[in-house]
Chains A and B, each alone.
Chain A
Amino acid sequence: MSETPSPFLPGTNVQYAWDSTSLGWYKECPRKYQYSMIQGYRTRDESVHLKFGIIYHSALEVYDHWRAEGQDFVASQRAAVRYVLEQTWDVETGKPWAPDHASKSRETLVRSVIWYLEHFKLDPAKTVILANGKPAVELSFKLDSGIPSPNGEDYLLCGHIDRIVEFSGDQFVMDRKTSGSSLTPTFYRQFEPHNQMSLYTLASQVIFNSPTKGVIIDAVRVAVGFSEYGRGPTYRTETQLVEWLHDTKGWLLDAERSAVEGYWRMNDTSCTKYGGCPFQKICSKSPEVREIFLESDFVRNPWNPLQVR
């Protein structure tokens, strides 16, 4: 397999390939972006959430693929469960993945996948079949933004679409979300407006040349003793997408300036938002000791928007 290219222009901290995660970090706080994207720091908890989320997504993609290729429910579910169990097994130590987390464990992951497939056994959302005959699942995309980067080429907007579906006669991106909180109307309201949902609607329209209406949030709440499921649509109009792209240009140029200056300013009004920034305890310390605390309290796990899943 070929190595994933760096999302940064050679020899610089100018990021030319952006996904909704890294753009979200920058919008929230340039300093958070510095710690997360430029330096690649993660909390240990965050690493658990990330691994849990990636395997959950991938297992359901395995199921979608099997189904789209004509396999029946039982065989497809079996393939998805086998995938989870193998991905959470450390071949070197011969032991299962055992994260130190109350609700995110190997067992709750297997349970969440099995219960999801049982819950949506008769799924009213049907996977779209692309012009090449393949099912529209696990689609990694790279989109020219039309915004020039310092090397003269356009900044890339990237991402990974779980699934494109037809639902009630309309086309939607379907995005799976794992949550620790209840799936109330408040949960779904957070996606309107929302960086990722606007980007994914835009990408679906441009790359797949399809009249996508928006995104269906396909959510699971993972609790210690149960997993519950819910779905909610979020719509985007053409003018909303144009506005989002216009704003994105401003953010990318701002990020470019920060990279050139080598300084990512702190947005001290974001620290307690979004459930609380994991770097708040770092930013609350004097600048000269922050790196010491970063090294001791966080792990390095670089994020690369160009990584194809």
Chain B
Amino acid sequence: MADTSSLNELFERDPFKYSEQDIDTIIARFRDARAQFNLASNPGRLTGPKAKAAPDKTVADLLSELGM
């Protein structure tokens, strides 16, 4: 979730005195929290497409093992 320490500090301050950077910090924190939430909800996205593993054996190896 959002970085609560800095967010709490910002949330306790008078918003009428916020700088543009303060607002951007808040937005960035929640944007990060959203990204984390999306990743947690869709863990597949963490790894991306899996590389196809190299086959341990070829069909010829198997046929050979089976004596065929």
Contact with A along B1-19 (1 / 0, CB 8 A): 1100001000110111010
Q: Say if the beta carbon of A225 comes within 8 Å of chain B.
A: yes
Q: Say which residue of B12, B15, B24, B30 sits within 8 Å of A111 (CB atoms).
A: B30
Given the known interface contacts A82-B15, A85-B18, the answer about A107 and B34 at a Cβ–Cβ threshold of 8 Å is no
Residue of B nearest to A84 (CB): B15
| A297 lies within 8 A of chain B by Cβ | no
How far, in whole Å, are A114 and B18 apart by their CA atoms in the complex?
Answer: 17
User: With A96-B12, A111-B2 as given contacts, are A78 and B34 in contact (CB-CB < 8 Å)?
Assistant: no
Interfacial residues, chain A to chain B (CB-CB below 8 A): 77-78, 81-82, 85-86, 89, 91, 94, 96, 106-107, 110-111, 114-115, 118, 225-226
B11–A107 CB distance below 8 A = yes
Q: For the complex, what is the distance from the CA of A160 to the CA of B67, rounded to whole Å? A: 80
Closest to A226 in B: B37
Q: Measured between alpha carbons, how far is A78 from B22 in the docked complex, in Å? A: 10
Please name the residue on chain B nearest to A94 by beta carbon: B14
Q: How far is the CB of B64 from chain A (nearest CB, A)?
A: 55
B15 touches A110 (CB 8 A): no
Q: Tell me whether B39 is interfacial, beta carbon within 8 Å.
A: no
A288 to B7, CA, bound (A): 50
Q: Secondary structure of the B side of the interface? A: helix
Chain A residues whose CB sits within 8 angstroms of the CB of B12 once the complex forms: 96
Task: List 18 A–B pairs whose Cβ atoms lie within 8 Å, in order of A's numbering.
Answer: A78-B20, A78-B23, A78-B24, A81-B26, A82-B15, A82-B18, A85-B23, A85-B26, A86-B16, A89-B14, A96-B12, A106-B11, A110-B30, A111-B2, A114-B27, A114-B31, A115-B34, A118-B34
**Which of B12, B20, B34 has the most C-beta atoms of chain A within 10 angstroms of its own C-beta?**
B34
Closest residue on chain A to residue B35 by CB atoms: A118
Summed over the interface, the residue pairs from A and B with CB atoms below 8 Å come to a total of 45
User: Which B residues contact A (CB, under 8 angstroms)?
Assistant: 1-2, 7, 11-12, 14-16, 18, 20, 23-24, 26-27, 30-31, 33-34, 37
Chain A residues closer than 8 Å to B16, beta-carbon distance: 86, 89, 91
B49 CB → nearest A CB, Å: 24
8 tightest Cβ-Cβ pairs between the two chains A and B? A85-B15, A114-B30, A86-B15, A78-B23, A89-B15, A115-B34, A226-B37, A111-B30
The chain A residue sitting closest to B33, CB to CB, is: A111
CB <8 Å contact, A110 and B1: no
Q: Given the interface contacts A225-B1, A226-B37, does A82 sit within 8 Å of B31 by beta carbon?
A: no
Determine how close the nearest CB of chain A comes to the CB of B3; give it in whole angstroms.
12
With the chains together, A104 CA to B13 CA distance in Å? 20
Of chain B, the residue at the smallest CB distance from A115 is B34
Q: Give the complex CA separation of A114 and B7 in angstroms.
A: 14
Bound CA span A245–B1, Å: 47
